[in-house]
């Protein structure tokens, strides 16, 4: 079978480095049975070894020490089907600049053109459950935002009478405390949807398989023990969830909850370091996944399940 290619993307603090460290450890040590294994060791093993050591010691990754390298993991199944996961040397901040400036690095554009799939990292700490319409109306009532200023006949009449849009806009901004829109302040799910759309626009292998990795899944399970990754995404990241579901010609999606560290570095560090098999720290939840097999989402995104 010919090699398949997947590109990994995500915004700042999305969990990519922790995932890379855990993946490297699991593939190199094979403490549990995994669906994929190394075809060959990555060229950047010195960098990866330092990353793994900090992961083992539950030390937070330092940006200056662990500046992102371009990494390629050449992986294979038991029957020797081959796939390549590429982590480009692009920071989450740079992906945010893609959104704000509408420009991409040429090397990343080339990756997008040849990719069969996308590994999309999402940090649940940056995702808050949106307000319901009922809650929004209650907030408007408290803030008194709707008395003659929004969607009201009086407001329309006033605008018509004065024929001064600047004055009406000024009054509305003052009422709402509005500020000039800054693309950098858009929500993370809007930025992620935009990244996916730009990838799809450049890809030659549609539809792309998109594996959404909800990082720090242990945080979510502590709050909601019965949480399921797909349901969580629909509830807490509805714009991105809807975007993926409404574009089946561009994306085929699976959602995975992944705790690559297994807990909080400070609170749970002693317990995690005491494990005889560090692979058991890792928790993976999703379709066709073993509990500790961090390679399972990769096998599906790489189309090595066929």
Note the pLDDT of residue 154: 43
**pLDDT, tens digit only, all 306 positions of the chain:** 456 889 999 988 899 999 999 999 999 999 999 999 999 999 999 999 999 999 999 998 876 555 567 899 999 999 999 999 999 877 778 777 777 777 777 877 888 888 889 999 999 987 655 555 555 555 456 555 544 444 444 444 444 444 454 554 555 455 555 567 777 778 889 999 999 998 999 998 899 999 999 999 999 999 999 999 999 999 999 999 999 999 999 999 999 999 999 999 999 999 999 999 999 999 999 999 999 999 999 999 999 986
Q: What is the 3-state secondary structure (H, E, C) of the chain?
A: CCCEEEEEEECCCCCHHHHHHHHHHHHHHCCCCCCCEEEECCCCHHHHHHHHHHHHCCCCCCCCCCCCCCEEEEEECCCCCEEEEEECCCCHHHHHHHHHHCCCCHHHHHHHHHCCEEEEEECHHHCCCCCCHHHHHHHHHHHCCCCCCCCCHHHHHHHHHHCCHHHHHHHHHHHHCCCCCCHHHCCHHHHHHHHHHHHHHHCCCCCEEEEEEECCHHHHHHHCCCCCHHHHHHHHCHHHHHHHHCCCCCEEEEEEEEECCCCCHHHHHHHHHCCCCHHHHCEEECCCCCCCCCCHHHHHHCCCCC
From 179, 173, 180, 175, select the one nearest 140 (Cα to Cα).
175
Q: What is the pTM of this model?
A: 0.81
Note the pLDDT of residue 68: 64
From 200, 224, 303, 217, select the one nearest 260 (Cα to Cα).
217
Note the pLDDT of residue 101: 76
Q: To which residue do tokens 């803030």 refer?
A: 143
Note the pLDDT of residue 285: 98
Note the pLDDT of residue 130: 57
Positions of CATH 3.40.50.300 in the chain: 4-129+189-301
Note the pLDDT of residue 176: 56
Note the pLDDT of residue 91: 76
- CB atoms near residue 33 (< 10 Å): 10
**Which CATH fold topology does 4-129+189-301 show?**
Rossmann fold (3.40.50)
Q: Which two tokens stand for residue 164?
A: 């001064």
C-alpha to C-alpha distances, 71 to 3, 8, 60, 86, 94, nearest whole angstrom: 16, 10, 20, 6, 17
Note the pLDDT of residue 252: 97
């Amino acid at each position: 079978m010919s090699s398949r290619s997947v590109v990994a993307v995500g915004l700042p603090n999305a969990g990519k480095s922790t995932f890379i460290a855990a993946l490297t450890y699991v593939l190199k040590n094979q403490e549990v049975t995994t669906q994929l294994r190394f075809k060959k060791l990555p060229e950047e093993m010195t960098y990866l070894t330092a990353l793994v050591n900090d992961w083992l010691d539950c030390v937070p990754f330092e940006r200056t020490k662990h500046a992102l390298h371009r990494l390629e993991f050449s992986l294979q199944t038991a029957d020797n089907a081959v796939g390549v996961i590429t982590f480009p040397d692009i920071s989450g901040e740079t992906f945010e600049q893609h959104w704000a400036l509408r420009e991409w690095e040429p090397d990343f554009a080339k990756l997008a053109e040849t990719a069969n799939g996308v590994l999309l990292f999402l940090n649940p700490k940056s995702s808050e459950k949106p307000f319901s319409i009922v809650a929004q109306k209650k907030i408007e009532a408290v803030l008194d935002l709707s008395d003659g200023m929004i969607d009201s006949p009086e407001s329309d009449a006033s605008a018509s009478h004065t024929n001064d849009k600047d004055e009406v806009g000024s009054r509305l901004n003052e009422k709402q405390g509005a500020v000039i829109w800054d693309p950098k302040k858009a929500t993370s799910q809007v930025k992620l949807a935009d990244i996916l759309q730009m990838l799809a626009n450049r890809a030659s292998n549609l539809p792309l398989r998109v594996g959404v990795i909800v990082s720090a899944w242990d945080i979510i399970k502590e709050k909601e023990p019965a949480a399921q990754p797909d349901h969580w995404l629909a509830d807490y990241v509805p714009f991105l969830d809807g975007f993926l579901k409404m574009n089946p010609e561009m994306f085929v999606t699976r959602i995975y909850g992944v705790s690559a560290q297994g807990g909080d570095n400070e609170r749970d560090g002693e317990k995690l370091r005491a494990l005889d098999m560090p692979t058991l720290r890792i928790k993976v939840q999703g379709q066709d996944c073993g509990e500790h097999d961090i390679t399972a989402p990769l096998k599906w995104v790489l189309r090595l399940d066929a």
